[in-house]
Amino acid sequence: MSAITQAASVLLTRGSNLPELLVVRRAESLRFFGGYHAFPGGKVVAEDEDVPVWSGPTPGRDARIACAARELFEETGVLLARRLDGSFPLDTNPWKERPRLLDDTLRFDDFLSTHRLRLHAADFLLAGSLITPEFSAVRFDTAFYVATLPPGQQADIWPGELDAGFWTTPDALLARWTRGECLVSPPTVSLLELLRGRPATDLPSLLAPVIRALAADAIPPIYFAPAVQMIPLKTIGLPQSTYTNAYLVGSEKLYLLDPGAHEEREQGRLFDLLDARLREAPAFEAVVLTHHHPDHIGAAAAVASRYRVPVFAHRRTVELLKGRVQVDRTLDAGDRLELGTAPDGSGPWHLEAAWTPGHAGGHLVFYEAHYRLLFAGDMVSMLSSVVIVPPDGDLTLYLESLRRLRGFDCRMLLPGHGAPTVRPKQVIDDALAHRAKREEQLLAALREGGPHTIADLASRLYRDLPAGLMPLAALQVWAGLEKLLREGKAARVGTVDPDTTDRHLWVAVACGERPA
Ligand SMILES: [Zn+2]
C-alpha cells in the first residue's frame, strides 16, 4: 500500500446570490492531475506545523489550515490572513514576497509575523477530508475548506504549477466538462455535483453522507470523463496490480467493462454500486470483457446472472473462458456498442471495439469518439510493464498492437491498472522504448557465453529484482526469446526439462547463420 500524504484544498467563493468558486488549471507537466481543473491547494510541508492559527485568545497549531492559506496565497495571491484589528490586508506589500514563498526562500510563518498578520481558524470552514482511493500510486488525504474572497483582493494566477484560474459556478464548469471542453479532477467533479444550486457553506452537510459511505467501504464515485465511472476493484493479480479498473460507461444505456472482483465481499461492493446506479433507471446492456485474464473477469458471471445481462467478448476469449464464463455475443474489430444520447445531449455516442492481440490473443480495446477516450484493458499499465505470457501472449503481436494504438485520436487512455492518462502517446512511446531496450539487453546476454536457460537470462537481465518477482521476469524473457526466434536472431538448442516452460537452452544467432 502506498503512503498517504496530508494535503489541503480551498473552495474560495465570491459574490452572494449565486456564489462563484475559484477554479485553477493544473500544469500539464504535473504528475498528479496534470492538465486537470481543480481547486487551489497542495500538500502539507513541515513548516506548516509551525504556523500559529488563532481560534481563541491564544494561538494553536493546525498544519492543514496553514497549508490551505499558504497554498492559496502562493497559487492565487489571495491572502486569508488578518491584521491585528481583524481586517484583511489590501495593500500590495505582502504580494511582493509571493515569489520568495514560491521558491522556498521565505517561510510562511516569518512572512506572516513580519506583516503582523494572523491566520484565523474561523476563516476556514472545514467541509471534510477525502482520501485518494487505494488504486492510485500517489495518494493524498485532502482537507477541503470553504472560504470567502476578502474584500478588495483579487486572484492572480502566475504560470508555473498552474496555468490558468477563473471564477465559475458548479453548473457552468460541469456543463463545460460535460461538453468535453475541459478536464476536471474526479474529487472536484464530486464536490461540484454536490454544490449544484447550493451555497458553498452547505458543503459540510452535503459531503458528510459521502464521507460516511466511504468510511463504510463504499466504492468512491470516480469520474474522469462524463458518464464514465471508474471502479477500481480488488482482484487476484500480479504484484503492483492488486486492483483492476472496471468501467461503467453510459447514462441511458450502461455497459460494464472488465468486472474483475473475485471475492464475494468485493463483488458485494460492486453490486451495491450497480444497484444504486440502476435505481436511476438506465438500461444495463451487457458486461464487456477486454480479455480472459482472471483479474478482468472475476465478477463477470456473477454480474451477468444477478442482473440478467449478456456477456460480450472476442471469439478467442470465448474459447479460453469455456466452462468458466458463458459469453453470449462475440465482438470483433469495428463492432459498436450504442450508448444512447451523449451526456451533453449532442447526439448518439458509442464504443467501438478494436482487436489488439498480444497481451492476450482475444484482447479488445474500446474507443469512444465523442470525448476521445480509449479503454485500453491491459495493453498499457500505468503501474508496471505489461506481462506477456506465451503461448497465448505474443510479444511481436503486442508491439504491433501497441503501435496501432498510437494512431488513435485519443485524449484520455483508461487502463485496466492504475490511473487514466491524458498523455497516451507519451506512455505508449515510453513502453515501446522500454521494450526495445529490454530486447537489446536480452540479445547482449544471449551472446555472452551460453547456451542459456531462461532462468539464467532472467537473473542476468533483472539483477535487482526481488526473488518473488523472478518468475514474472522469466516470462518476459521467454516472450522476448520467442520474438527473437521468429526473427531468426535466436535459436533453441537441446532440452533441459521438458515439463517446464524453461525446457530449452537458447543461443544467439548471428545474421544468416544457422545454429549447429
Ligand atoms: Zn491481462
Residues in Cβ contact with 391 at an 8 Å cutoff, skipping those fewer than 6 apart: none
Domain that holds residue 376: 222-422
33 and 131 share a domain?
yes
Q: What is the CATH number of the domain that holds 444?
A: 1.10.10.10
How many angstroms separate the CA atoms of 406 and 81, rounded?
49
- State the greatest distance between any 2 C-alpha atoms of the chain, in Å, as a whole number: 92
Ligand 1: centre distance to CA 174 (Å): 34
Structural domain includes residue 216: no
**Quick one: which H or E segment has residue 305?**
helix 300-307
Ligand 1: centre distance to CA 168 (Å): 42
Q: pLDDT in tens for each of the 516 residues of the chain? A: 468 999 999 999 998 767 899 999 999 888 888 899 999 999 999 999 999 999 988 899 999 999 999 999 999 999 999 999 999 998 777 778 999 999 999 999 999 999 999 999 999 999 999 999 887 878 999 999 999 999 999 999 988 889 899 999 999 999 999 999 999 999 999 999 999 989 899 999 999 999 999 999 999 999 999 999 999 999 986 655 589 999 999 999 999 999 999 999 999 999 999 999 999 878 999 999 999 999 999 999 999 999 999 999 999 999 999 999 999 999 999 999 999 999 999 999 999 999 999 999 999 999 999 999 999 999 998 888 898 999 999 999 999 999 999 999 999 999 999 899 999 999 999 999 999 999 999 999 999 987 999 999 999 999 888 888 888 899 999 999 999 999 999 998 877 776 676 778 888 887 555 554
Ligand 1: centre distance to CA 237 (Å): 9
In this prediction, residue 120 carries a pLDDT of 97
Structural domain includes residue 447: yes
Ligand 1: centre distance to CA 49 (Å): 45
Structural domain includes residue 44: yes
Ligand 1: centre distance to CA 483 (Å): 19
Q: Count of domains in the chain?
A: 3
Q: Which of 422, 457, 487 is the last residue of a domain?
A: 422
CA distance between the termini of the chain: 50
Q: What is the CATH number of the domain that holds 339?
A: 3.60.15.10
Ligand 1: centre distance to CA 296 (Å): 7
**Residue 291: closest CA among 372, 371, 387:** 387
How many angstroms separate the CA atoms of 511 and 492, rounded?
16
Ligand 1: centre distance to CA 279 (Å): 32
Ligand 1: centre distance to CA 389 (Å): 9
Structural domain includes residue 504: yes
Q: Which of 394, 422, 450 is the last residue of a domain?
A: 422
379 and 476 share a domain?
no
Ligand 1: centre distance to CA 421 (Å): 19
30 and 159 share a domain?
yes
342 and 246 share a domain?
yes
Ligand 1: centre distance to CA 393 (Å): 9
Ligand 1: centre distance to CA 414 (Å): 14
Q: Phi-psi bin for 403: left (phi > 0), alpha (psi -120 to 50), beta?
A: alpha
45 and 191 share a domain?
yes
In this prediction, residue 208 carries a pLDDT of 95
In this prediction, residue 511 carries a pLDDT of 59
383 and 234 share a domain?
yes
In this prediction, residue 397 carries a pLDDT of 97
Structural domain includes residue 256: yes
395 and 472 share a domain?
no
Ligand 1: centre distance to CA 272 (Å): 26
Does this model's pTM top 0.75? My answer is yes
Q: Please state the three-class secondary structure of 195-216 as a single string.
A: HCCCCHHHHHHHHHHHHHHHHC
Ligand 1: centre distance to CA 325 (Å): 16
In this prediction, residue 239 carries a pLDDT of 59
In this prediction, residue 237 carries a pLDDT of 65
Structural domain includes residue 382: yes
Ligand 1: centre distance to CA 112 (Å): 54
411 and 497 share a domain?
no
Phi/psi for 325 (5° steps) reads: -130, 130
Ligand 1: centre distance to CA 182 (Å): 31
Residues in Cβ contact with 290 at an 8 Å cutoff, skipping those fewer than 6 apart: 257, 258, 296, 363, 364, 365, 366, 375, 377, 378, 416
How many angstroms separate the CA atoms of 373 and 476, rounded?
29
How many angstroms separate the CA atoms of 338 and 279, rounded?
21
Ligand 1: centre distance to CA 386 (Å): 8
Ligand 1: centre distance to CA 135 (Å): 17
Amino acid code (one letter) for 171: D
126 and 41 share a domain?
yes
Ligand 1: centre distance to CA 242 (Å): 12
323 and 443 share a domain?
no
Residues in Cβ contact with 260 at an 8 Å cutoff, skipping those fewer than 6 apart: 233, 235, 237, 244, 246, 294, 295, 296, 297, 298, 299, 416
How many angstroms separate the CA atoms of 45 and 42, rounded?
9
Ligand 1: centre distance to CA 110 (Å): 53
Ligand 1: centre distance to CA 233 (Å): 15
Q: What is the CATH number of the domain that holds 33?
A: 3.90.79.10
- For 292, 395, 478, the CA distances from 388, given in Å and listed in that order, are 13, 6, 9
480 and 367 share a domain?
no
Structural domain includes residue 461: yes
Are the beta carbons of 254 and 231 closer than 8 angstroms? no
Structural domain includes residue 214: no
How many angstroms separate the CA atoms of 267 and 249, rounded?
18
Q: Which of 367, 398, 422 is the last residue of a domain?
A: 422
Ligand 1: centre distance to CA 418 (Å): 13
230 and 95 share a domain?
no
Ligand 1: centre distance to CA 21 (Å): 42
